[in-house]
Amino acid sequence: MRERRVIASSKITRRFQVTITKEVRERFNLKEGDLILFVVEGDRILIEKG
């Protein structure tokens, strides 16, 4: 089983948007315009770089 570790959290805005924190953006080298995927795994939602 993979290690599960929370590294950040974000709230959903009234326009259903979330902010990706600086720590996460830097760790995964996310840039403006990058594609991210919302992957369903059982009752969980995983976010992956596309």
Which domains can be identified in the chain, with CATH numbers? 1-50 (2.10.260.10)
The model's pTM is 0.76
User: 1-50: per-residue pLDDT in tens?
Assistant: 678 889 999 999 999 999 999 999 999 999 999 999 999 999 999 999 99
Tokens of 12: 């959903």
Q: What is the DSSP string of 1-50?
A: ----------PPPTTS--PPPHHHHHHTT--TT--EEEEEETTEEEEEE-
Can you tell me the distance from the alpha carbon of 27 to that of 14, in angstroms, rounded to the nearest whole number?
27
